[in-house]
Structure 1
């Protein structure tokens, strides 16, 4: 792997080959021909990965990390084929997570420390006063297991403590916008005031005039360029949204982006509306650049038409790719599927209320023909999260299966977090570790038993029972008939209700018929 067998006192000379490797890759790329999205992929997948193996064994000098950062930073900002270019955003900001306004580039010092911390974690000795050894829990991870990812995030929080305090809403919308990756990076630069407008170039001593290149009336700032310039105002009026910015005042582009988000929220598809707005802004910028660098002036109708045409061309290509991908991938069952002959399937679900910190649940048992054998509701119980509620519902479903005397069962739940935690103990969140341990042990008491994940539509009856139990029951109870509003919608009409009518079932029918279905409060976050 190219790691030196002997390391002397001068680590700079020993690890200088890392700089050579990075430079060799950079020399083979033409940075000025790559879009921002393509550069991001190369930085994260290639350049940042080159020193990883060395950093997992040795602590690199700070100066070496800075030199690696300098080479990557120069590649990122280079767009004209020149060795020197303006660096519009500080490197620390580029290393922030995307949801905090950065690009998620690697901080080599923090990542080096996270990799070495993994070795220290693995060398810990656990001494216990009891027969069972103590478990060392890594608090930043839900499952209590150490991960380089969380260690890196912790190291970054010390070097950039203000990152986590950034408003992540605007940035999430930028990266989820239905547009090209290069336009997403363009919006990101706009929100950071990192475009070479006349005003920004004047501050850096690059130009002598800061007037708008199109109207020549005001200084060319981002706010003027996109919202105040007479040309831009007309383009927005000609767009399908017919926006009028003549009476709106923004202090920064981020204010304008907030207005876009609010406006798009009134449309049926927010992501699609923001995508079209982003194309309009992109072509306003392209029209400005054609005027500055080529002396060409696009008409207002031409700018608006280019933006709309390119947007729908992108959406058509996007839809085509999605349809091809969905046709190639195997389709998973969306409805309830009966078990094999001689097996019983138990579907269970839970409902959690964060206001009362209480959960409840329900389970339904069916045979290979889809006939309901038993329906059970679980009494409300205290829980700290929806995940704990789902885990406890699984435990209660197993208890009832055992009390009914079944030995060949298939348990199904739409709580993927619980299913994964039971199937893989190493990924189990520590808040439900003891419950999952009991589930594994109880499953072994059956002749044949499995726990599988199912989509929400295939678990609808259990979901309705869980919502019902939250409002009507104080103890675990078997139901001898289903309430009217609960049907086997996840398996057609293959339901045979038991003829064992009881006062309890009549009471349920009356309550459910008068009060309607339960509300949506506390919808499980694992669905």
Structure 2
């Protein structure tokens, strides 16, 4: 999409250029093995003189293009009537469903046609432009009429509203898209790319033209902007609601005007402005020397309730910039245990491979705890054990996909869960002597290879003292302690986050000791 956005922004700028002595031109090339002049055209800016145009066209041996032609299937310039510019999509929709063969489709066949064909037709266009609301409503109307069997002038009763049919199947609908919401979602995705990839060609072009001295969220629409820029601005509200700042050095996020607190639903500081200016950045609450929160200033500025939340937020010890992150899942649903392990489509694919007791239709719990309790009450012990192992497999499958980009087939996950459970039961049935049992209860420290230092660490939390402590120990391949280190920081972190921060301290410690002759090779272990 970057090429499309840059091309259309270029054509818009050239169309606007009506003054000046120097004209501009854009060349549309069609090349396979060699230049095809018959399909090559040149677009000139409005201020280009006719004599100059004729000379260039004669020299190139090609023709001039108008603003009414299409580029990559999209209209190059959008006039006042945006409805007319995109009406061709509506005509294609109607032609697809007016085919005589569609009259003999069952309801299941109609659902597949609407979702796989009709809903896909405007997707490419909606990824760049915000289509008129009137046109989007006509898209919905065409689908609605087709579903209920309208033929020519014949009208039939719509027994269920289109809004209800647009809900997910788990919520009593059929999962049809609402085109207006889908349009904004696609545009928000393009806006998110401008934020996350500021060095891309599209981001560079838009920043130079529209927000050279600010950022994407603070940019103004400006005078005579392109239709693409207007479309992207229309989706900014959606991005603001779904994103949050992850604090690094605090230089980008504002204390009172940005979403940066890990506290739903506002994620913003609600206390009145005091002590600092309304435009103050989060970095002003951080001690520059220790790179830790200035506890006294945080309490005095934000109050005890918010200060308790802020002091638990880790700060980058390397001075990394603040980063805008997405708080929702890719499909817009809130990420939760229930969603990750049960209700999302990828998890449902795995459950559908298991016993019928695990099918989605059998349980509709609001949270995962209720789901487990309901399964416990209605299932046998064996089914509950398989439920637990399968849930673990789904979680591991999700993590492999997110962090390693490795896909595992749902049937494979379900089969592995059965095999793992059987192996576990077989191992439990075998008798164990006392020594083996003792070794299972306690973790055995494994020495590193020769000439290697191994660092182990752990974190401890003290709610009473409101501090987090870290202990690190370095040992050689013989198990002898080479060095130890302890640290502490203010605030009580989440246990998992505390362990991760301990790992960071271990890495930092190893880097500091690299010059030591004994520390030339280091391995880390929690």
Q: TM-score, normalised by structure 2?
A: 0.37
Q: TM-score, normalised by structure 1?
A: 0.36
